[in-house]
Amino acid sequence: RATAADDQEIARLRAELRAHPCHGCDEREDHARWAERYHRLKRDTAQLERRIEGRTNTIARTFDRIVALLTELDYLRGDEVTEHGKRLARLYGELDLLASECLRAGVWEGLSPAELAACVSALVYEARVGDDALAPKLPSGAAKAALGEMVRIWGRLDGLEEEFKISQTEGVGQREPDLGFAWAAYMWANDKGLDEVLREAEMPAGDFVRWCKQVIDVLGQISAAAPREGSTVAKNARKAVDQLLRGVVAYSSVG
């Protein structure tokens, strides 16, 4: 129940409201709505600015972590890009760092063009969910050994990325190489017929052509990034492109 003091306070406040310059304004209700809109927009803008600042900080942190990792691997030395870093700059894709490390370690030295095509396919191919239930068929000998070494190097990089807190969820990081297209790429580069390759690969012709073209693209990058002296990789990468770029793959690339 209101007391006399409360009634007096209410009366005083009402008197102040009537005495306020805005009280006699015919458009005060419109002005009040505009003031409400102003404060709402101001609040929303402040929230957006905080979100942008948070994302900017996340990008900066991720960048610093990548720089630290590349410094650890001798791709960067302070503000200087090393020779290894210049090689990495010629490669692009999800597994560009893995490709660079394979070139550095000589993993693909001594492979035939078809074997190299099989190995490079692991850098681009990604099986659809449910397609990789069984272990994929692989070329034997040197190609199989090189694929195993690629997976081992990826494991080392994955451990380093975890150490430097680099996550694939942030759009960076190296996913595990997928060996599911290696046998198909190897057969096609060895001049096997399309029907036989598709039957072995168990995939539609359109998917096969699309993956072949991506392998060809990365082989071109590798031919540009590989050492010119004391290495056969650049030459064999170019040969592998020629051996893959035939038949339906070549036809689909026209125009």
d(CA 80, CA 78): 5
Q: Of all residues in the chain, what percent carry a pLDDT higher than 70?
A: 93
- What CATH class is the domain 90-252? mainly alpha
Phi, psi angle pair for 136, to nearest 5°:
-70, 150
Quick: pLDDT tens for 33-66.
Answer: 888 888 888 888 878 877 777 666 778 888 899 9
In percent, the amount of the chain with pLDDT more than 90 equals 63
What does the pLDDT average to over 188-199? 97
How far apart are alpha carbons 186 and 173 in whole angstroms? 27
Upper half-sphere CA count for residue 73 (Cβ side, 13 Å): 25
Q: Enumerate the domain spans of the chain.
A: 25-72, 90-252
Bigger pLDDT: 17 vs 228: 228
Query: For residue range 137-153, what is the model confidence (pLDDT) as tens digits?
Result: 999 999 999 999 999 99
Highest mean pLDDT among 52-56, 172-176, 196-200: 196-200
The per-residue pLDDT for range 151-167, each reduced to its tens digit, is 999 999 999 999 998 87
How far is the first Cα of the chain from the last one, in angstroms, to the nearest whole number? 88
- How far is residue 243's CA from residue 216's CA, in Å, rounded to a whole number? 10
Computed over its alpha carbons, how large is the radius of gyration of the chain? 31
Predicted local confidence at residue 156, as pLDDT: 96
